Amino acid sequence: MRVGCPKEIKVHEYRVGLTPESAAELVHAGHEVLMETKAGEGIGASDEVYKKIGAKILPNADAVFNEAEMIVKVKEPQAVEIARLKPHHVLFTYLHLAPDPEQAEGLMKSGATCIAYETVTDKDGRLPLLKPMSEVAGRMSIQVGAHFLEKAQGGRGVLLGGVPGVQPANVVILGAGVSGYNAAQIAVGMRARVQVFDKNPARLEELDREFNGRLETVYSTKAAIAEAIKEADVVVGAVLVAGAAAPKLITRGMLKTMRPGAVLVDISIDQGGCFETSHPTTHSDPVFTVDGIIHYCVANMPGAVSRTSAFALNNATLPFTLALANKGYKKALQDDAHLASGLNVYEGAITHEAVAKDLGKPFKKPAWLS
């Protein structure tokens, strides 16, 4: 199969869909790898590195899309990339369609087969291709929260871990999944006072045992969240409903009860955000303020640590990329129900039930997957 990897063009996105190691595995398996020139420069991988492992370097994205059968990316395709997609293409990347009807319409019109990293599952119902980036975003959330708490950044002027005789910052984490867990690890490690909210009592018990009293677990209710954010310095939104838009857990009215200069970090922004006042931002202009509360809503947080993120992502995606290339997409999806759960768009229809529901579109499962 001809597997193409264009250079990412989303603002300040430095990751790459195929690392040299992944490209080499595909070449070794007998496939032709087509890299857009400079696609890997954001992770320190030159065209020469890709050439040495047998990849073909093409001069621009048009050439990659024209020659490739499968397109492997990181972030959702931008408008100019959607315009390049044809019915024979298989697109394998993050999509996050639920809060993005414009992208969904474009992909449906393209006729391409679109498989989303974020809805591929494993035998336990987890999301293995979302996990590595959730780990990165969770850890980064505390870094950026601590940074924007600084007075020079408009924050409250609070040191996350405090010092002897002075209280540490109060960190509220909404969601105890992969992102929330990783945020908690860093926040606890920096000696902040940490509360983690979730609706799964079993998960809260796990965190309570693992952290051995170094954080507080709270069953998530609207009232409990409203009370906790009154004293919060940093609030991390780490809520995920697979394929669906994130629930709005903090309303604009609730901001007025918070301390001016507190920081909201919305990891869920890719799925629409879990704060009512959230809207996507970029690494070059990462924050905005509403009612005195700083909002950090960068939609591609892991892109800032591109080398770490790209290798972590490829470690997870490569087995699926190889399966799609080795077997062809139909056989690969028929053989693996977990990979099949990643199918979001096929022949102009939405093929993931949760995505279809949030977009208000009909759900249509391909007959060959039944």
Distance CA 298, CA 329 (A): 32
Active site residue 28: no
Distance CA 118, CA 104 (A): 15
Tokens 């979001």: give the residue: 344
Distance CA 173, CA 267 (A): 11
- For helices 20-28 and 306-327, the axis angle rounded to 10 degrees is 20
Give the SS3 label for residue 249.
Answer: coil
Tokens 């394929």: give the residue: 243
Active site residue 336: no
Residue 296 is inside which H or E element, if any?
strand 293-296
70-72 sheet: strands from edge to edge: 56-58, 32-36, 2-5, 70-72, 90-93, 113-116, 343-346, 349-350
Which residue of the set 100, 266, 270, 336 is catalytic?
270
| Cα distances (Å, whole numbers) of residue 253 to 145, 257, 275, 293, 321 | 22, 8, 11, 12, 45
SS (H, E, C) 17-48: CCCHHHHHHHHHCCCEEEEECCCCHHHCCCHH
293-296 sheet: strands from edge to edge: 216-219, 193-198, 170-174, 234-237, 263-266, 293-296, 287-290
Residue pair 197/220 in contact by the 8 Å Cβ criterion: yes
Distance CA 275, CA 251 (A): 6
Buried b (16+ CB within 10 A) or exposed e, 58-89: beebebbbeebbbbbbbbbbbeebbebbeeeb
Catalytic positions are: 96, 270
